[in-house]
Amino acid sequence: MTLSYGPLQRFLFSHHFYSGVRRAFGILLPIAVLGGVFGWYASGLIATFGALCVAFIDQPGPHEHRGREMLGGTLLSTLTVALTGLASSHPILIWGVVIGQCFAFSMLAVYGKKGGQIGFACLLLMTVTLHHSLSTQEVWLHALTSLGGGLFYTLFSYSVSRGMQLREKEQALSVALFATSDYIARRADMYDLDRNLDENYRKLIVCQADMTDKHQAARDMVLRGLATTQAQTDSSRVMLWNLFVEMIAILDLLVATRTDYAFLRQKLEGSDALLFMRDALHKMASDLERIALAVARENTATQRSSVKAELRALEFEIQQMHTDGLAQRDPELYSLCIEILRRLRNTAKVIDRMILATRHDPNAQLLDAVKIDRSLTQFLSRQQFRPRLITSNLRLDSPFCRYALRVTLAAGIALALSALIPALARQGYWILLTVLIIMKPGFALTRQRNGWRLLGTLIGCGLAFSILYTTQHETWLFAIMVLSTIIGGGMLQINYLVASAFNTNAVLLAFNFLDPGATTVIADRALDTFLGSVIAFACSYVLPWWEAQFMPSLMRAAISANREYLRAALAQIQTHHENSSELAIKRADFNVRLARKNVHVALANFAEAFYRMMLEPKSRQWHVIELNNIVMQNHMLSSQISALTTALLGSPKIPQASIEFLNALLPQLLPAPEHPTPAVPKALLDGTFPALTYPLKQLQRSIVLINTEIDVIYHKAKVNLDATKKSVSTASLS
């Protein structure tokens, strides 16, 4: 079943397209004003490049952070222009300056995504400055003009973001809702007998990792400034908060469904119950898409798909199971089906409330799911640019230092190639630019980006050739260049291949305006990109840092996050059933939500790194089967903890045996288990507490399977180590 809204509508109403339009206008306004009005085309182009570099830093996110990052990037890029310009007329000095800056700015990757964007922006401006040698007087004029372009863009973008901050919050929430819809659709596929279960699980985990990123982006936008009285009385802000809370509630309901899909498929293979479960989830995913699009359009969600037929049909199937004696014959299966039905009903009710929330009721109140105060800042992402982070990574065993050395080597080869081959001297900077665009810290990302960049450039060259062959009308060419800039900027975070094609087309059309008589510019760009791709691919094998080297730490982080989640859940259960104060209950609830968010982030990091490792050479992949099982079992474990917490919180009386059993399981969530696996208490196995027996056994099973896979990894590592020692000993004797 396909969903109602395609990628085009998602893109057109997303913050990606909006930010692409904002970046395009901010980039092109300097040359339009300086060139079109005053005739200063050269100065306008310099200012435009200064604005372009800052635009790479201007990605969707809180405008307070973007303002500081863009201002810092503007100052750093201006310093880059000055250093590169002063050295440009000295053949030996320019080598040292370029190589030094490549290493220094590549090291900014230690600060994560934002650091990498700032470093690339500076390297881009360095590469553009290499186009011509500059005198000392020209250098300062060039630097000041570039500074003006960067400051203009920073002021322009910050002002637009301040005026459109509510719109940006709506778009961020809309993207998160779309991601949640995709996740629900993936979960629906788990009930489809025609689909491979293991393959579906891998897709589900990848989808959840993407959804986690989108939820964090929405969190960063929606929660900021919400603690003020003005925000809490604004109907639009109230709507966004309530929709966000309900979206997380849906996730809680679905993730907390302790579904053993293999067990369910085996037992219900000839039943229509799976079909009704699947169709109900697909319809709910479609409803969420409508809500997401309504939020993006600032409209009311009216049309919806009713799931009443599926729920009633599922209820009838369960009633037939009861009539046939399934409740006595297989109580675990029967209780699981009832739980799925209950959660589907509750999810449908939440979606109905979300549809009503889009009506902007002026009397709507904030949902008190989490106490709205300064403690909410713990849910927000934070970025600290500490100098010590760079100095502590200046060692050969640091992946960031190795990445910087690879970039530096590739840049040196690109410079040498353009210096040794006269035919490449004029456009050698484009080879360097291609290298800097393609090179990424990870091997898999570099190889992936390499293919996309090369193919995108070839498509862009073909597109530009077709356009220039069709028309030379300047108005049409300028309009196509603006449109290409918007699409290229908007697709940068979504589809790099498409972004590369449109950005290449925009740049080639810009070169046509600067030099209409040039006949080889398109062929030159294609050749330069090919050479840059070859250099980047070859250098990606120098001092590589394989994803396998991250696996042990990411695996431990995911297991540790699940352990802390279980510990927080136990504290929440005990707090609720000990008649604690309201403040203690709220604090326990808050800790569980924070622990659950940390679990989702840790699992996303673990899964993404694992699937990147799968794109690397097979000789560099590490314990693929074991890690794949650990990824899936960690994912199941977090769902089981959530399901068990819900069951215990809803129980009028909590059996002490279950609490003791869970406390005994806590030490098992370690990379190397040091405690014997506890047995499920007899009180839970003899049918005294049937609603708890199955989820407890499933939770224990996941922990045992995780530790079993870890034991296999450790055993293989020990065998390999012993074999290595034996071979070394034999070699020394011989």
The per-residue pLDDT for range 653-707, each reduced to its tens digit, is 777 778 888 888 888 886 555 556 677 666 665 555 666 777 777 788 888 888 8
Q: What is the average per-residue pLDDT within 635-647? A: 81
Q: What is the average per-residue pLDDT within 344-365? A: 83
Of the CA atoms within 13 Å of residue 537, those in its CB half-sphere come to 14
Distance, in Å, from the CA atom of 614 to the CA atom of 605, rounded to the nearest integer, reads 14
Contact (CB, 8 A) for 197 and 190:
yes
Distance, in Å, from the CA atom of 82 to the CA atom of 138, rounded to the nearest integer, reads 10
pLDDT over 90 at 408, yes or no: yes
Name 173's Cβ contacts closer than 8 Å, sequence gap at least 6.
Answer: 218, 221, 222, 240, 243, 244, 247, 295
Whole-number pLDDT of residue 468: 80
Contact (CB, 8 A) for 300 and 358:
yes
Whole-number pLDDT of residue 6: 60
Name the helix (H) or strand (E) containing 118: helix 112-129
pLDDT tens-digit series, residues 252-276: 777 655 566 777 788 887 788 888 9
pLDDT confidence band for 409 (50 / 70 / 90): very high
pLDDT over 50 at 231, yes or no: yes
- Of these ranges, 33-37, 431-435, 562-566, the one predicted with the greatest mean pLDDT is 562-566
DSSP assignment string, 655-671: -HHHHHHHHHHGGGSSS
- Of these ranges, 438-452, 548-562, 581-595, the one predicted with the greatest mean pLDDT is 548-562
Closest CA to 543 of 410, 360, 733: 410
- How much is the mean pLDDT over the chain? 80
Whole-number pLDDT of residue 405: 92
Name the helix (H) or strand (E) containing 566: helix 551-576
**Structure-token match 């904030």, residue found:** 366
Distance, in Å, from the CA atom of 340 to the CA atom of 315, rounded to the nearest integer, reads 10
Whole-number pLDDT of residue 547: 82
Closest CA to 456 of 525, 514, 539: 525
pLDDT over 70 at 369, yes or no: no
How many other C-beta atoms are found inside a 10 Å radius of the C-beta of residue 129?
26
Cα 57 → chain centroid = 17
Name 441's Cβ contacts closer than 8 Å, sequence gap at least 6.
Answer: 109, 116, 399, 400, 403, 545
Whole-number pLDDT of residue 380: 56
The 3-state DSSP composition of the chain as helix, strand, coil percent (nearest 5) reads 80, 0, 20
Q: What is the average per-residue pLDDT within 346-357? A: 88
Distance, in Å, from the CA atom of 77 to the CA atom of 85, rounded to the nearest integer, reads 12
| C-alpha separations of 631 from 30, 327, 549, 550 in Å | 49, 33, 16, 14
Angle at 532 between CA 612 and CA 454, to 5 degrees: 60
| C-alpha separations of 380 from 219, 225, 550 in Å | 7, 12, 25
Contacts 24+ apart (CB under 8 A), 566-569: 566/641, 566/662, 566/665, 566/666, 566/669, 567/595, 567/666, 568/592, 568/594, 568/595, 569/595, 569/641, 569/642, 569/644, 569/645
pLDDT over 90 at 600, yes or no: no
Whole-number pLDDT of residue 3: 41
Name which residue leads in pLDDT, 731 or 221.
221
Chain length of the chain: 734
Buried/exposed code over 60-73 (b: 16+ C-beta within 10 A; e: otherwise): bbbbebbbebbbbb
Q: Position 352: which residue type? A: D
Whole-number pLDDT of residue 686: 57
Cα 654 → chain centroid = 39
Distance, in Å, from the CA atom of 451 to the CA atom of 497, rounded to the nearest integer, reads 9
Distance, in Å, from the CA atom of 665 to the CA atom of 498, rounded to the nearest integer, reads 49
This prediction has a pTM of: 0.78
Name the helix (H) or strand (E) containing 696: helix 690-733
Whole-number pLDDT of residue 397: 81
**Structure-token match 């490449």, residue found:** 424
pLDDT confidence band for 624 (50 / 70 / 90): confident
pLDDT over 60 at 725, yes or no: no
pLDDT over 70 at 107, yes or no: yes
Distance, in Å, from the CA atom of 283 to the CA atom of 553, rounded to the nearest integer, reads 39
Distance, in Å, from the CA atom of 151 to the CA atom of 235, rounded to the nearest integer, reads 35
Angle at 202 between CA 600 and CA 378, to 5 degrees: 10
Radius of gyration of the chain (CA): 29
Whole-number pLDDT of residue 103: 93
Q: What is the average per-residue pLDDT within 174-197? A: 88
